A and B are shown apart, each in its own frame.
Chain A
């Protein structure tokens, strides 16, 4: 198995989180969380239900202020105005009054990118997610898995410094999920974005992640860090895959 030192060798730290703590009054939700995300990494976070995953993501996205601790992107404190932090929510957040292509333009326009750059990226993303034939459709004319792909395209189009994904496939049936997970790997390989993927599905985490962080029950701490050095495409029934999956399952138990 690859050790942490071997894994980190030659990798550049993209996001550094130190002593991240969040309290709601007396209630401690995040307790001294420390970790790094490397440039271009696919990092999965798993944890038991109700362990504070949502708070964790919201703090990372700067939706809610941290009680203590720092989040550094490229060495400077993270700031939505300066850094590109993208967020794929659990619920589909496509914008109903914009066509598929305008949905992809949405974030780029808010960022005020030059028009020709926006067009270039929209074309690339439409190609990558295969939504070209549907570019002028409105989201509700598509199936919900296609809608989620629109949202994913919209977020990857930003070339985000960090892409946060909060169980984006949680509500899809298993066949579509497999398909979209493969698509995610493909886009990620193509664009080399840094992705933090939160899920409660252990199999999904082992399938996608280069590295998995296991969160403990509330207050959330990082309980374990697991490096998944399996080649891709990964196979669910590969003994190595099963071994890692069982290891994560064991680690996640808190009783």
Chain B
């Protein structure tokens, strides 16, 4: 009785907690079956986490590693937005430009960002350059695609309405097409950030001295599975926080969609 009342009232908090508890139990059971080093127990991982946050790894604290990864992502992401959004929007707006650019873009698009790693290292050396470049490629493609789709699917009726009022091409663009494309752009804004966060880790697995990806590689080199798993959990938590922040930001910028989200 008490439990069911608690379940109803506290289900907002209760269900997520239950889900975490179940996952941890399964993990613990798997640890007991598989055993020891291969799959560390949740407690071992937790202990390792505490240890990692209290010492320096490769000369830097975990916070500094996170900072390095985030810095790469943010730089690449902003560059991607600044170049990708206008390009995508212009492709969606101008048919001639679209015809010229589209074939090139279609060939470049399916190349996964990770496939750029070797050439990026050849071109840009082993410093920050290639890592930012990889993230940039990932974010850029998504920015372009979403801006393009958003523009392309602008309701022609709204453009026609603006035209009856004698709106110039410019007014049609700024008063109709761009606002109309915002929801799609925002979907891209979120996906691009996730993509660029995934890419930074891939890039850091190859020859980085700092960053969250480096933590994982350290764990592998030192044969410390708990360390690898702590690194993975950090990646997950940061990725999720980024997504939540952007969703909040979207609600701020596209208030007319508040009932749809």
Q: Which residue of A lies closest to B161 (CB)?
A: A93
A99-137 with Cβ < 8 A to chain B: 106-107, 109-111
Chain B interface (Cβ < 8 Å from any Cβ of A): 157-158, 160-167, 171, 175-176, 179-180, 182, 254-256, 259
Q: Is A141 interfacial (CB-CB < 8 Å)?
A: yes
Instruction: Please state if A80 and B166 are interface contacts (CB–CB under 8 Å).
Output: yes
Instruction: Please state if B256 and A97 are interface contacts (CB–CB under 8 Å).
Output: yes
Known A-B contacts A80-B166, A106-B175, A110-B167; A140 and B256 likewise in contact (beta carbons under 8 Å): yes
Given contacts A80-B164, A95-B158, 7 further A-B contacts (CB under 8 A): A86-B165, A87-B161, A93-B157, A93-B160, A97-B254, A97-B256, A110-B166
Q: Can you list 30 A-B pairs with a CB-CB distance of less than 8 A?
A: A61-B164, A63-B160, A79-B166, A80-B163, A80-B165, A80-B166, A82-B166, A85-B164, A87-B164, A89-B157, A89-B161, A93-B160, A93-B161, A95-B176, A96-B180, A96-B256, A97-B180, A97-B182, A106-B165, A106-B175, A107-B165, A109-B175, A110-B166, A110-B167, A110-B171, A110-B175, A140-B256, A140-B259, A141-B259, A158-B165
B254 contact set on A, CB distance < 8 A:
97
A89 contact set on B, CB distance < 8 A:
157, 160-161
Chain A interface (Cβ < 8 Å from any Cβ of B): 61, 63, 79-82, 85-87, 89, 91, 93, 95-98, 106-107, 109-111, 138, 140-141, 158
Q: Which 6 A-B pairs have the closest CB atoms?
A: A80-B166, A87-B164, A107-B165, A110-B165, A81-B166, A138-B256
Q: How far is the CA of A111 from the CA of B164 in the complex (A)?
A: 11
Instruction: Please state if A63 and B165 are interface contacts (CB–CB under 8 Å).
Output: no
A109 contact set on B, CB distance < 8 A:
175
How far is the CB of A12 from the nearest CB of chain B, in Å? 23
Q: How far is the CA of A77 from the CA of B175 in the complex (A)?
A: 27
Q: How far is the CA of A93 from the CA of B164 in the complex (A)?
A: 12
A96 contact set on B, CB distance < 8 A:
180, 256
Q: How far is the CA of A81 from the CA of B164 in the complex (A)?
A: 9
| Listed residue (A61, A85, A95) with the most chain B CB atoms within 10 angstroms of its CB | A95
